[in-house]
Structure 1
Amino acid sequence: EKLARIVDKALQEKKGGGDSSNFGRDGKLEEEEDSIVGKSPEIVEIAKLIGQVAPTNAAVLIMGESGTGKELVARAIHRNSLRKDKPFLSVNCAALPEALLESELFGYERGAFTGAYQRKLGKFEQGDKGTIFLDEIADMSLMTQSKVLRVLQEQEFERVGGNQSIKVDVRIIAATNKSLVNCIKDGNFRVDLFYRLKVVSVYLPPLRERKSDIPLLADYFLKKYTRLIGKRVEGISNDGIKILLKYPWPGNVRELENNIHTAVVMSKGGMLMPEHFPIFSENKEKLDIDFEKIKKDYHKLLSQILEPIFPKILANSDGQIYDHLEEALERTVFDLSLKHCQGNQVKTSELLGVSRNTLRDRMKKFGLF
């Protein structure tokens, strides 16, 4: 992986000094898959941090929006650790219901539940001496959190339906795209687990905060997909690069990769032009919108909506105008967000930046099921 090379460079600099701005060739590693590409100051600092933490057994908490490359960082830590020849196992905590997630992590004994015809080993046993990556850990239930905490504290657990303590030696790396501090305030995340996981924290900035890396990333993905598809494409036009730099990339590097992939598939050769990228056809008018200006206009927009009806609101006041308006706005935001995500609770909670438990509470409160 690209980041592994960066880490090697960072480790060398740590030992003998050097200029970290020169790692890799143009911030890229040729012919390697699943790379984190870039030479922005943010990426260089992340590489140095990984170089420091990888040789240890410390738990790591990786924070950042969806699509920023959190699992790639986790893999880079594993590959540069003393556990590199042992398993690296990834579990998406948001993808499984609570009971299934518990069985996936800790395994189960025969007869533990209907359909448990034989013993199954969980990820913690399968990954003994290796690294377990817990993605989207904010969506883990409090019950399962307590069991993960026990693994962190005592390096032991029990299978579902079992009563025998099993010792394991695993390193835990967790990731989240949500604020665990807010989850703790909402009562949805254990504060003791938070501090056990956050021995070392890594923050991955969104792509919009490291736009200088976009041309490098675009070139990397272009080479990757022309090679995989077997199509000859000369490059990306200047206008194409301008569009890529202008777009805010809410889906981050993952969305950029998808756009380059689509553009290569749809291209007939030659240079990739703006019209080859899905973001151009889907957001042609929006690309000219200044989102920061829109946020500043929220007050003006709400005033325009409320001003004509405000006298009537005052006339019927029961002394709780603020509470009523706040609840109405909250209901509208949750309702529209659920519709935008077609009822997908995982996507809706990510969009709003709230935990799934908070989302379910609001859905129940406002009758949005």
Structure 2
Amino acid sequence: MAAILISKSISSEEILIDSISGPQLGQSKRHEHDCLIGDSLEIAEIRKMIDRVAPENDSILIVGESGTGKELVARLIYRNSGRREKAFLSVNCETMPDPHLDLELFGQENEAHTGINGRNPGIIEQGDGGTVFLDEIADMPMTTQGKILRILQEQTFEPLGANRTIKTDVRIIAATNKSLVTAIKENRFRVDLFYRLKMASIYLPPLRERKSDIPLLANHFLKYYSGECGRRFDGIDPDAMGQLMAYPWPGNVRELENNVHTAVVMCKGKTLHPEHFPVLAEKPEKISIGPEEMEDGYAKLFDDTINPVFNKAASISGGHVYHHLMAAMEKALYSAALKYCGSNQVKASALLGVSRNTLRDRIKRFSLY
């Protein structure tokens, strides 16, 4: 079964895909494309691109804002490819600090970087014959970029601490929400890797550019989350749907999904009204606030409180202040959400805008019992 090989939890948009076994996938593209919700011209073009590039072995670059569904498209390409019986493995280059990213990708032998004895195969080796998805590749360190380029050119790599070369047959699909052209100009991204990745390129438009798909998406998420919690709804109030279509959705499809999820959890009746959706329940003047202004407000709040913590971390963390503080912040954030929601994981995941699988992973990682 292809679904057994998936290393990362799936979202509601992919639920139809992972209920199908590997051999059936090649015979049922309609079901797979049903998961790429929408009847706009933009979605139709993306479906055509998936059909065009999936059978090939070339690397692919997927470009789009956060929340547009880049990993979903990568999985659809994988499931329509000849590699669908092998592994699909993903890594987020933005959240994985160096040198841990190299360790995650290429593995290690002996005690290089980790102090662990023996072999520890990385994602590239585990994905042999399959597909590796490199999310937010614009944030990948230049040294790691060189190693990825070598895989694309020679199909070889060396684990950390090894004195031998390993041959690999892996397809690379990369994604970014940033301009790689700008990164090249700023000497943060290799131009040769850029052209190797851009053998085929897929652009995912933001949700605000395909608003006709919003009702289909909203009703799809309503059906999914109502089924997950075992409830029946009559639908979304027309006034609420109109407001959903008028909202700019800076967080794109992911933000819409999180809002529908929250609405399902909070609604006690049979119809979802504007007050059930966080973005619509806000005061009108708040709805117009863009993500930049919102982030500035949060930044100022943190700015007023972080100095004592930062100074202490700087004195003991040995040059890894960012990663230590971000880990501590993430633990505190998940802990606060669980307390706020009375340890209700459904409400906490909806509040944070993350999947329940992600929440459960953080509960286990940070021992938040």
- The answer to whether TM tops 0.5 is yes
SS of 1:285's equivalent? Answer: helix
| Aligned pairs for 1:154-303 within 5 A | 154-287=154-287, 289=288
Check conservation: 2:60, 2:197, Cα contact below 8 A: yes
Cα distance change, pair 268–197 in 1 and its aligned pair in 2 (3 A)? same
- Provide, for residues 214-263 of structure 1, a one-character-per-residue CA deviation record: whole Å limited to 9, x for no partner: 00000000000000011221100110101100110000000000000000
Paired letter, 1:87: A
SS of 2:205's equivalent? Answer: coil
Cα distance change, pair 340–55 in 1 and its aligned pair in 2 (3 A)? farther
Could you tell me how far apart the structure 1 residues matched to 2:156 and 2:301 are?
39
Cα distance change, pair 50–114 in 1 and its aligned pair in 2 (3 A)? closer
Say whether 1:58 aligns with 2:18.
no
Match of 1:148 in 2: 148
- Provide, for residues 93-115 of structure 1, a one-character-per-residue CA deviation record: whole Å limited to 9, x for no partner: 11111100000000001121352
| CA apart distance, 1:281 | 2.1
Check conservation: 1:28, 1:38, Cα contact below 8 A: no
| CA apart distance, 1:46 | 0.5
Runs of at least 5 residues in structure 1 that lack an aligned partner in the other structure: 6-10, 13-22, 30-34, 292-331, 344-359, 361-369
Check conservation: 2:90, 2:134, Cα contact below 8 A: yes
Cα distance change, pair 4–231 in 1 and its aligned pair in 2 (3 A)? closer
Paired letter, 2:256: L
Check conservation: 1:68, 1:253, Cα contact below 8 A: yes
Match of 1:339 in 2: 299
Could you tell me how far apart the structure 1 residues matched to 2:97 and 2:284 are?
39
Could you tell me how far apart the structure 1 residues matched to 2:275 and 2:298 are?
30
SS of 2:233's equivalent? Answer: coil
Cα distance change, pair 112–75 in 1 and its aligned pair in 2 (3 A)? same
Could you tell me how far apart the structure 1 residues matched to 2:94 and 2:257 are?
23
Could you tell me how far apart the structure 1 residues matched to 2:59 and 2:114 are?
35
Cα distance change, pair 276–182 in 1 and its aligned pair in 2 (3 A)? same
Match of 2:310 in 1: none
TM normalised by structure 1 equals: 0.71
Match of 1:86 in 2: 86
Check conservation: 1:105, 1:124, Cα contact below 8 A: yes
- Provide, for residues 298-338 of structure 1, a one-character-per-residue CA deviation record: whole Å limited to 9, x for no partner: xxxxxxxxxxxxxxxxxxxxxxxxxxxxxxxxxx99x9488
Could you tell me how far apart the structure 2 residues matched to 1:132 and 1:257 are?
26
| Identical aligned residues as a percent | 58
Could you tell me how far apart the structure 2 residues matched to 1:169 and 1:283 are?
53
Say whether 1:42 aligns with 2:2.
no
| CA apart distance, 1:36 | 2.2
Check conservation: 1:63, 1:177, Cα contact below 8 A: yes
Q: State the number of aligned residues.
A: 281
Match of 2:136 in 1: 136
Check conservation: 2:33, 2:47, Cα contact below 8 A: no
Check conservation: 1:2, 1:28, Cα contact below 8 A: no
Could you tell me how far apart the structure 1 residues matched to 2:297 and 2:252 are?
20
SS of 2:83's equivalent? Answer: coil
Could you tell me how far apart the structure 2 residues matched to 1:191 and 1:284 are?
45
| CA apart distance, 1:28 | 8.2
SS of 1:98's equivalent? Answer: coil
Cα distance change, pair 338–227 in 1 and its aligned pair in 2 (3 A)? closer
SS of 1:174's equivalent? Answer: strand
Aligned CA RMSD, in angstroms, stands at 2.8
SS of 2:174's equivalent? Answer: strand
Could you tell me how far apart the structure 2 residues matched to 1:37 and 1:124 are?
31
SS of 1:58's equivalent? Answer: coil
Paired letter, 1:141: P
Q: Based on CA coordinates, which of the two structures has the bigger radius of gyration?
A: 1
- Provide, for residues 170-210 of structure 1, a one-character-per-residue CA deviation record: whole Å limited to 9, x for no partner: 00000000000000001000000000000000000000000
